[in-house]
A and B are shown apart, each in its own frame.
Chain A
Amino acid sequence: MKKKNSIMRSIAAAPHIFWAVLFIVLPLIIVVYYAFTDESGAFALENIASLPKYAPIFGLSIELSVIATAICLLIGYPLAYVISKAKPEHQKILVMLLMLPMWTNLLIRTYSIMAILDNGGIVSTLFFDKSLRLIGTKGIVIFGMVYDFLPYMVLPIYTCISKIDKRMWEAAADLGCNTFMTLWKVILPLSRSGIISGVTMVLVPSISTFYISQKLGGGTFELIGDTIERQFISGTLNTGAAISFVMMLLILLSLTVMNKFADPDDGGIIV
C-alpha cells in the first residue's frame, strides 16, 4: 500500500468515521454509562438486577417478532424468486412496486392501518357491521410488522437470487433436476446469505418496535420498545438504558448465532 493512497483513504473515510463516532459509538457509550449507574451517577448494578420482572415483555416481543419474521420469509421468498425470474424490464417495475409503500413514512402507514381496520373503520363498517375487532389483538400487531418490514426481507433475497450464475440453473437441469428440485437443492442453499440478512433486517426492527404495538395493539400489552420509551418519558433513564443494553446484547447474540449459518465465502454480511 502506498502512503499517499492511505492518506487519501483516511480523508475519504473521515466523514463517515466522524458520523459513526458521533451518532453510533458515543450514544452507545452513553447507554452503557446510564445502564450501570444510579440517579446520582454512582456505579450500580440495580438497574440490571431489576430486569427479570420484564421477562414476560421480552418474551412476548421475541415471540411476536419471530412469528412475523417467519411469515415474512414464507411470503417474501417466493416473491423474491418470482421477481428474479421475471423479464428484466418487468423486474424493475416489480421492485419499484415493492418499494412503493416505503415512499410513505412508516408511522403514517401504521396509523392508516389503524384507521382502516379499526372497528369504526372502512373494512369493519362495510363488511362486518362494525363488529370486527382487530385493533388490540396480537394478530394485528404481527400483521403490522409483516406489512411494514416485508420489503426488507424480499430485497436481499431478490439480490442474492439474481446474482446466482445462470449456468447453475442450466447445470441443475442438465443433471436431471426438475424446477422444484433445482429450487430446493441449488437455489435455496445459494441464497442462504440473502435469507439470513433478510431475517436479520426483519427480526431486529420487529423486536424493538414500539409504534406498531402502540397503535395497533391498543395499548393493552407492551413490547420491549414501548417499555423503553415509557422509561425515558417518565424520567427513569437508568432502567431504560439497562433494558436497551440487555436488548442489544440479545440481538448481538442472535446475530452471532445466525452468522454461524451464513456462508463463510460471502462473509460478514451481518455485524
Chain B
Amino acid sequence: MRKRLFRMILVLTVALLSILALASCSEGGTEEGETPVYRDGDTVYLNVYNWGEYISDGGEGSLDTNREFEEYFNTYLSAKYGGVKVRVQYSTYPTNEDMYAKLKNGMVAYDIVIPSDYMIEKMIEEDMLYSFDVTSLENYKYITDIFRSPYYDPDNRYSVPYTYGMLGIIYNRTVVDESDLGSWELLWNEKYDGDILQFNNPRDASATAMYYLGIDVNSRNPEDWIRAIDKLKEQKSLLQGYVNDEIFNKMTTESAAIAPYFVGDFLTMVSEEENLDFFYPKEGVNYFVDAMCIPKASKNPEIAKEYINFMLTEEVAVANAEYIGYASPNSLVINSDEYREYMNTEYLAPTYDDEGNMITLGAYELLYDRKPEEVNAAYNALFPDKQSPACYRSYTPEIQILLNDLWEELKIYDSTETWIHVSSASIVAVVLGFAAYSIYIKKKRSKHYRKKKTK
C-alpha cells in the first residue's frame, strides 16, 4: 500500500508539473476573456488600481469620486464614445512593488495606476506605460509649475501628479525639548533613549542617515551605503523599534516620542493626539510624488484620459485632497478657501498670539508654506549637478543586493543577550541529562530482567 501511495504521488506530481510547464509556455498567447471584464454590451469597465485609502470614496459624507465619474461620463461624454456607459472597477495595493508585480505578470489590464516617482521611472524604462501628451488634457493647466516636467517624466508623456508629500520628524512636545529640534540629529540623541522609532525598511531607514550625513540618497558608491548603515548601528541601542504602520499606534498612544514620517500622516496622527508636532530637518528630506498613469495594457486609454482629466476638476480634487490629507499639486486645490478652512479645522488648527500672528502652523500651512526645493536647499546645494537629488531613484541591482546584506548586518548587530544563551543551554543540558538518565535506567532494568530470566 505504501509503495502504491508513493507511486501515485509521483505520478500526480509529474502530471501537475507538466501542466504547469504547458501553462507557462502558452503564457504569451491570448489572455483575453480572463476573470476581469473589460466590456459587457454597452458597458465599458474602467479598472482603477490605487493605494489603499487614497481616494475620496463616499465614506463619512465625502464625495464618492468613482460614482461621480460614472455619472458625469454617462451624462456628458457617452455620446462622444459611441454611447458606451462606464463602470469603474476599483482595487487597491499596499506598496509600489506589489502594484509593479501585478502589472508585470499581466493578469489584469488596468486602465489607471498611481505609482510613486521612482517606480514611474522604472516602468517607463521597461516600457510599461502608455505614452501621450499629458499637457493636452484640458485640466492639466491647473498643475503647479514645479510639478511639470519632473525628473522621472521630463517630457510630460506618461504621468499627471496626484499628490506629493515630504518626510520630516514627528515628535511629542511633552517629551522633546525645543532646543533639540531642527536636525536629523534628534534621531541620534541619547537623551531620548528608548523613545525613538525608525523605519523598518532599508531604503527609508538608510535615507534618514544619509540626509543627516549629507550623502546622496541615490548613491552608486557602496562606501556611502556602508557609512549610512554604520550610522544606523550607532542608533540601534537608542531605538524602541523598527516599525512600519505600528508608528500610528505608537505615536498616538505616546508609547514613543520621536519618529521620522510623512507630513500627511502626521496630520492624521495629530488629529488623535494633540501633543504631537512636526518639523522638516534642516539637512534635507525625501519628497515623493504619486502620479496617475495609464498602463500600456489598458483596453480603454481614451476613457482613462477622461478619468484623469476628471480627477483634476476642482470639486473632485478638493474632495480627494481633504480625504487623503496629503499635499496636492493642483492649483485649484491650493487656492481653494473651502479646502484651507477644512484642513485647518478637521486636521490641525493654527494658533495665534494676541496680535494675530500665527505661532504654530495649521495643516494647510504645514503642507504648502514650504516648498520641497526650499526645505531641501541645503541638501540640493551639495549635489548641484543633479535634478531633484532628494527624491529616491530606482537603484541598481548591485546596490539592491548590497543594501539587503547591510540591512541583515544591522538586524544581527548587537541582537543577543547572555541570559538567552545561559537559559537555553541549561534547558538543553537538562533534557540531555534526562535522556541519559532514562537510557541508563532502561539498561539497568533490562539487565535485571535478563538476570531473572537466566535464573
Q: Are B194 and A70 in contact (CB under 8 A)?
A: no
Q: Are B249 and A115 in contact (CB under 8 A)?
A: yes
Bound Cα distance from A221 to B414, whole angstroms: 9
Contact among A120, A135, A219, A230 for B254, CB-based, below 8 A: A120
Q: Are B243 and A138 in contact (CB under 8 A)?
A: no
- Residues of chain B within 8 A (CB-CB) of A236 are 401, 404
CB distance from B376 to the nearest CB of A (A): 28
CB distance from A222 to the nearest CB of B (A): 4
Chain A 215-243: CB-based contact to B (< 8 A → 1; otherwise 0): 10111111000110011011110000000
Q: Are A130 and B243 in contact (CB under 8 A)?
A: no
Q: Are B415 and A220 in contact (CB under 8 A)?
A: yes
Q: Which of B1, B8, B200, B424 has the most CB of A within 10 A?
A: B424
Q: Are B9 and A17 in contact (CB under 8 A)?
A: yes
Contact among A26, A60, A219, A230 for B13, CB-based, below 8 A: A26
- Residues of chain A within 8 A (CB-CB) of B255 are 118-121, 130, 135
- Residues of chain B within 8 A (CB-CB) of A135 are 240-241, 255
B236-284: which residues lie under 8 A (CB-CB) from chain A? Answer: 236, 239-243, 246, 249-250, 253-256
- Residues of chain B within 8 A (CB-CB) of A234 are 400, 404
**A183 at interface by CB-CB < 8 Å:** no
B1-52: which residues lie under 8 A (CB-CB) from chain A? Answer: 1, 4-5, 8-9, 12-13, 16-17
Q: Are A120 and B250 in contact (CB under 8 A)?
A: yes
**A177 at interface by CB-CB < 8 Å:** no
A contact patch SS: helix
Bound Cα distance from A60 to B416, whole angstroms: 7
Binds B, one of A51-59, A80-88, A157-165: A51-59
Q: Which of B17, B243, B255, B417 has the most CB of A within 10 A?
A: B255
**A42 at interface by CB-CB < 8 Å:** no
Bound Cα distance from A20 to B16, whole angstroms: 12
Q: Are A57 and B435 in contact (CB under 8 A)?
A: no
Q: Which of A9, A62, A118, A231 has the most CB of B within 10 A?
A: A118
Bound Cα distance from A20 to B9, whole angstroms: 8
Chain A 7-26: CB-based contact to B (< 8 A → 1; otherwise 0): 00110010001101110011
Contact status of A220 and B5, CB under 8 A, knowing A66-B428, A261-B435 = no
Contact status of A56 and B241, CB under 8 A, knowing A26-B17, A70-B427 = no
Q: Are B408 and A63 in contact (CB under 8 A)?
A: no
**A207 at interface by CB-CB < 8 Å:** no
**Nearest-CB residue, chain A, relative to B420:** A63
Q: Are B428 and A218 in contact (CB under 8 A)?
A: no
CB distance from B18 to the nearest CB of A (A): 12
**Nearest-CB residue, chain A, relative to B411:** A222
- Residues of chain A within 8 A (CB-CB) of B256 are 120
Bound Cα distance from A26 to B428, whole angstroms: 35
Bound Cα distance from A134 to B17, whole angstroms: 48
B97-153: which residues lie under 8 A (CB-CB) from chain A? Answer: 97
- Residues of chain A within 8 A (CB-CB) of B407 are 230
CB distance from A26 to the nearest CB of B (A): 6
Residues of A within 8 A of B (CB): 6, 9-10, 13, 17-18, 20-22, 25-26, 29, 53-54, 56-57, 59-60, 62-64, 66-67, 70, 114-115, 118-121, 130, 133, 135-136, 138, 189, 215, 217-222, 226-227, 230-231, 233-236, 261
- What are 26 A-to-B residue pairs whose CB atoms are below 8 Å? A9-B1, A10-B8, A21-B13, A25-B9, A26-B16, A29-B13, A29-B17, A54-B408, A56-B415, A57-B412, A62-B424, A63-B416, A63-B421, A64-B424, A67-B424, A67-B427, A70-B427, A130-B254, A215-B246, A217-B241, A220-B239, A221-B415, A226-B411, A230-B407, A234-B400, A261-B435
Given contacts A62-B424, A135-B241, A135-B255, 14 further A-B contacts (CB under 8 A): A17-B9, A20-B9, A56-B412, A64-B424, A66-B428, A120-B255, A121-B255, A130-B254, A133-B194, A219-B243, A222-B408, A222-B415, A231-B404, A236-B404
